[in-house]
Structures are given as C-alpha cells and as structure tokens.
Amino acid sequence: MGQTMVEKIVSRQVGRKVSAGEKIERLPITKLFFNDVIGPPAIEGFRANFTEVFERYGTAPRVFDPKRLYFLPDHSVPAFTIQIAEGVKLMKEFARETGAKMYKEGDGIEHVVLIEDGQIVPWDIVLGTDSHTDTNGALGTLAFGVGTTDSLYAMATGHLYDFMVPESVKFELTGTLPKGVFSKDIILHIIGVMGAGGCSKRVAEFTGPGVRSLPMDARTTICNMAVEMSARTGIMAYDDVVADFLQGRAQWPVEPIDSDPDADYAQVVTIDLSSLEPIVAFPHKPANTTPISRLQDMIARSQREPTPDFCTIDDDIITDAFLGSCTNARYEDLVAGAAIMRGHQVHPEVNLIVIPASRKVYQRAMQEGLLQVFIEAGANVESSNCGPCFGSHMGVMSSKAKMISSSNRNYKGRMGSPEARIFLASPATVIASAIEGRITDPRKYL
Amino acid sequence: MITGNVTSIYGKDINTDDIIPASFLQQSNDRKFFKDYAFDRYDPAFRERCKQTTANIVIGGENFACGSSREQAVYAIQENNVVCVIAQSYPDIFYRNSLSNGLVLITLPDTSSFQIGDELRVDLDTYSIENVTQGTTLRFEMTPDDCDTFKQGGMIGRVRNHLAELLQASK
C-alpha cells in the first residue's frame, strides 16, 4: 500500500514508515510561527514553564531553532491599543534575545509572507498559531494551526506531542474554470458540499488537472479555507508551478513530493471545475453557499427557514465590501479586483476597504497602478494586516452593516456587531458588488 | 469523578468566535480575563447561568468549537466553572487545546437526551455518565491516553522532561 503525502512527511520526520491512525508521541516539526495575538501569551507561557528547566542546566533560555522560528505582527497592526503595542514589543524583545526572525508591522499576513519569502518548502512540518496555517499546505507541506500551549511547547523542544496521523480526503479537481470563476469559488463550493464539519480529523488533499492548471496564489486560497470544513489541514503536491515559484526564492532545500497512486483515502470527491459559477456564502457560516445565479432563491430560503447560523436576509443590498485577508489579497487577487473596478466607481452607499496581503504585494500593486485604480474609485486602501476579518479594527461593522468579503469567515459577530451580516465571495464578486451596492455576478463586467 | 449540572445546551457548529470574540483576545494575557467575555456575542447569558451553579456542564452538538485556533476559548469556558463539555464531535484544534488545559471533553454520538438542570456524574475510569436527574447511564469512548492527559490537566510534565533530556544531550 502506498502512502499519502501526510504519511510520507510524518514518516520522514520520525524515521520509520507510519500510516494514518498511528499515534506519534513526539513529532519533530521544521517551522514555527507566531502572530501578535498568540505570540505574547506564548512567550509568557514559555518563560513561566521552562525558565526553571533552563536554569537547572545552566543555560540561558533558548528556542528549539532560531532559524526556523518567526514572529509576524499582522492581526492588529499598526497597534491601536497600548496592550497590543506591549505585545508587539514583547515579541521584538524575545526575538532579539533568542535570535528568531521578527517581521515588522506592515510586512504582511503570516500565511502570505513566509511563503513569499521562500521560508516554506515541500516536506516541511509547519506549526502556526492561527487556524489558517493550512494555507501553507499549497507548497506540499504539512501545516497545522495550533493553540498557545502546543506552540510554546514546540518553541522549547521543536516537537508536537501526541500527534495522531490523520487520514486524507482526496478532492480530485477536473476540467477548467469558466471565465469569472476563481479558486475562491472552488473552495466555497467544496465547503458547501462537505459542510462545516465535513472534513473533520482528516486532511484535505487537493489534486488533479484542475489544481495543476492553477497558479500559486490561487492554490493558497483553496488550502486556506480547508479548515472551514474542519479539515486538519489542506495539502497539494509539488509540480512545475511550485517549482517555478520556489526557483530563486526558496531559503531551504526543495524536494518534490506527491502521494503514491495507490495511497489509501478515507473518501474521494470529484469536482468538475467547468460546471462551477461564482459562489456566495451566506451568514453566518462559510458552508451556507449558493451559486450566484440562485441568489434570490437563497434569500427566499433564509426568510422561509432561518436557523441560528443561517439568518434571515432581506435583500441583496450591501453596505461594506472588503478585498483583503490571508484568503484573497495576493497579487492575482488584486489584479482580478482591479480588472473589474477599472473605469467604475465604488457605490456611494458602500465602504470598500482594500488591504494588500503583504508589503511586497502592496509595492507591486502600487508600481503596476492597481492601487490607483482602487483609490480613484473611492476605496480605502490600508497598509498590510488582517483588517476587518479579525473584527477588531480597520472597518468594524455596525448593527445595520451588510458586508461582502473576500476573507474566510462570516460568523455572527466576526467583524463587529452580531447583528451585522457577512457574505463571502471571490475578489471579483466583491468588487462587482462594491460597484453596484448589491451582490453582483462579476461575469457581467468581463 | 466529575459531577455537575447541565447549564447550557448548544446546537451544531458552535465556533470559537462564538465562544470568545476576537476583539477581547489581545486585551490580556491572563486566562482569567476571558471569563467575563465568554459567549459575549452569541449567548451573553451563559456567564450568568454559570454563576448560579458551582460545577457547570456544557452540552454541544456536532463540531463543537470549530474555526479559530484561539486557546482563549478554552479559558473562557473553563474559567466559568465548567468542569466538562459533552458534544457529538470536536474539531482537532479545540480538542488539542482542551487536552492541554485539562478541560474534559466527552464525545457522545447523541446528546439530545440532556436537559437544562440535569445533574451528571462523569466517571473517567469507567467511561460512563450517570444522569442522576433522569436515572439513566450512558457510556462514552475515549482513548486511555487522552483520559490520562485530561486527568493530569495537560502534558506539561512530559514536555519539561523532554526539554531536560534535550538540554542534557546537548551538554
């Protein structure tokens, strides 16, 4: 029996052949990163739990490997409270003490910057203190979001404890995407089919000719949202697109990876990309999806049979739009948005916020005139951070707000008031909707 | 033996944003802080119900505490004197975070029989839940390893020993 990529990566790390279902008491990891939300409490926890052990051995506190440890202030920067500023300062001091890499406010979002900088390579086992760490799986890595405790243990010893090797679900993508349909629509469609818990305890492996035809940015969008069907993580094989992306960029040795043809899967799901159209997820969960052609039917259904996580929607009017986040604010996303925005204005009743995912994306978008398109159309363009997706700054929503967002979560209260409504869609759909002030099929602009 | 009363019953796909909204996360590094903001935008009455009872048990549906990896969700529940959660399933991140903090998570395929106010006795040695109020007993499954970790309140002892091993080896 062959192995999945997950089984192969774990096998290499532990030095023996393992299969799904096995428990690994100590799994060595290869990369670890922290954001400004979990970094500060994790540093405090690291000191509280391990200082005595270091003292016992007469060594200064040290991390498992400073070259493999990164701190990225991205969620709430530039800081807007003293507590947040203190947290970022603590990360800076700790990084200086331990030799770890500290990024600056505005360098960008964790799941974008490390990939962009060539820090993530196939065969890595990556831990990040954010559930969207699954994004990194697009490079053939095994990437897990972890909480404070797992992360501070890993910072000390470089291990994840009591790890159960997960099974994989194979998503076989065939055909090619029609015009105006994007990778965001693929993953929203898949989440809608699988449900919010549909991939629980399993890794979502995305494969097939439909994946191989997608550029790198589009792939990360798909892996990013694997967690929205509760997948353990998302993963994709190494191929020519990954090879080209890592050429001249990778800071670590690059080695191909793929699952064996006879690997064992818990489930196989085939998706014909040519049958897809733009998808919109209704409040309050990403699995509430509808093809945009059936938008009015979905609105009617929300009025007929609302539930706590599928609330009543009066109409297709929107008041806010967000093009940003670790899901959809990379270069290609801004290109797709700007292609629709060009020559149009943001609707007078809509607040459009555009946040490039990293400083490098920002600079390229500026040089190529993309930011100018958004700014001249009346958008607010902000420096790189997680923005309104985290619900704490740069566009917190009022009780009457109706947002269409390129981000990954539309939970009740996620972006501000619990009365606000959040729809999820592709960057193209977000911008088309920002122009019209109502949820709009982007294909009419192409 | 864990004893307590059912004071909250939730449906499926409760997420960790429901349990503790993001805007509170960076206000404190002290786990006790999150007590006063548990379920702030989803069910603010949760905290008041928890105050009425010394040991609270939360009932959930499928996929309880999905979404964000924020461990503050565990603190927010635990600091409200919740001794145990019983749900149909949990995503892995929350399960791991709960193991790390000794918040006991019980998995039952059907949680529909529980009513608010039920007095429960959860026995991690016999893998059984006695519903004293209803006079019934339910069995649950849990690996012995997870059971030990829940009982020990996490794995910090093992991790400290591992760090000591690594420091010894590098001497």
Of B116, B152, B149, B156, residue with least CA distance to B134: B116
Stated length of chain A: 446
**pLDDT tens, position by position, A5-51:** 999 999 999 999 999 999 999 999 999 999 999 999 999 999 999 99
Closest residue in B to A52 (Cα–Cα): B160
| Chain A residues within an 8 Å CB radius of B63 | 196-197, 200, 230
A262/A334 Cα distance (integer angstroms): 39
Q: What is the percentage of chain A residues whose pLDDT exceeds 90?
A: 99
Report the DSSP pairing between strands A23-28 and A159-164: antiparallel
**pLDDT tens, position by position, B113-161:** 999 999 999 999 999 999 999 999 999 999 999 999 999 999 999 999 9
CB contact (8 A) between residue A41 and residue B29: yes
B54-67: burial string, b at 16+ Cβ within 10 Å, e else:
ebbbbbbbbbbbbb
Judge contact between B60 and B111, C-beta under 8 A: yes
| Chain A residues within an 8 Å CB radius of B23 | 391-392, 396
CA distance B153 to chain A (A): 12
Q: ipTM strictly over 0.90? A: yes
CB contact (8 A) between residue A38 and residue B28: no
CB contact (8 A) between residue B68 and residue A131: yes
CB contact (8 A) between residue B29 and residue A40: yes
CB contact (8 A) between residue A150 and residue B100: yes
Q: How far apart are the two ends of chain A, measured CA to CA in Å?
A: 47
Name the phi and psi angles at A262, rounded to 5.
-100, 25
Mean pLDDT computed over A177-194: 98
> Which token pair is A170?
């194979």
Chosen from B10, B27, B29 to mutate, greatest number of chain A CBs within 10 A = B29
A54/A157 Cα distance (integer angstroms): 12
A362/A76 Cα distance (integer angstroms): 18
A36/A350 Cα distance (integer angstroms): 30
Q: Which residues 6+ apart lie within 8 Å of A64 measured at CB?
A: A32, A154, A155, A156, A157, A158, A159
pLDDT of A1 > 90? The answer is no
Judge contact between B45 and B7, C-beta under 8 A: no
The reported pLDDT for the residue numbered B171 is: 82
Helix (H) or strand (E) holding B35: none
**pLDDT tens, position by position, A125-176:** 999 999 999 999 999 999 999 999 999 999 999 999 999 999 999 999 999 9
Range list of β-strands (E), A94-231: 101-102, 125-128, 142-145, 159-164, 167-174, 202-207
B147/B150 Cα distance (integer angstroms): 5
HEC sequence for A323-380: ECCCCCCCHHHHHHHHHHHCCCCCCCCCEEEECCCEHHHHHHHHHCCHHHHHHHCCCE
Of A227, A220, A221, A173, residue with least CA distance to A200: A227
Judge contact between A288 and A192, C-beta under 8 A: yes
Who among B27, B71, B149 is closest to A147 (CB)? B71
3-state SS, residue A28? strand
Helix (H) or strand (E) holding B98: helix B92-101
